[in-house]
Amino acid sequence: GAGVSQSPSNKVTEKGKDVELRCDPISGHTALYWYRQSLGQGLEFLIYFQGNSAPDKSGLPSDRFSAERTGGSVSTLTIQRTQQEDSAVYLCASSRTVTNEQFFGPGTRLTVL
């Protein structure tokens, strides 16, 4: 079956612009995570959705970052007024439940000029 998909695969933007990153999780997966990874380094947790519960936003680095998950499926990560330090690969993952392994998407490479 289809895996986790993310779009766009690459995004180049100018400093100060807003960007939207999309994640389509595997159908039926109730948990969805967003992470950020810089230059093949570790995973930085951003936000976590579990079913209909309020999302865990504890990893969002600033109020310029927000995310929503509509209908318990597709999620959008929005970065407002992008800065150069926002440049990274943004990874989305989903799992059947919180106790199952995560399936990762290919990521969106964001470059802020």
Partner 1 sequence: AQSVAQPEDQVNVAEGNPLTVKCTYSVSGNPYLFWYVQYPNRGLQFLLKYITGDNLVKGSYGFEAEFNKSQTSFHLKKPSALVSDSALYFCAVRALNRDDKIIFGKGTRLHILP
Instruction: State the residues that interact with partner 1 by CB under 8 A.
Output: 33, 35, 40-43, 45, 48, 50, 53, 56, 91, 93, 98-99, 101-107
Report in angstroms how near the CB of residue 95 gets to partner 1 at its nearest.
8
Nearest C-alpha neighbor of 47 from the set 62, 97, 38:
62
Task: Answer whether 52's CB lies under 8 Å from 72's CB.
Answer: yes
Backbone angles phi, psi at 86, to 5 degrees: -80, -10
Residue 5 or 73 with smaller CB distance to partner 1 = 5
Residue 31 or 82 with smaller CB distance to partner 1 = 31
Residue 6 or 82 with smaller CB distance to partner 1 = 6
Separation between Cα atoms, residue 67 and residue 60, nearest integer Å: 9
Report in angstroms how near the CB of residue 71 gets to partner 1 at its nearest.
21
Which residues neighbour 61 within 8 Å (Cβ) at sequence distance 6 or greater? 44, 46
Report in angstroms how near the CB of residue 89 gets to partner 1 at its nearest.
10
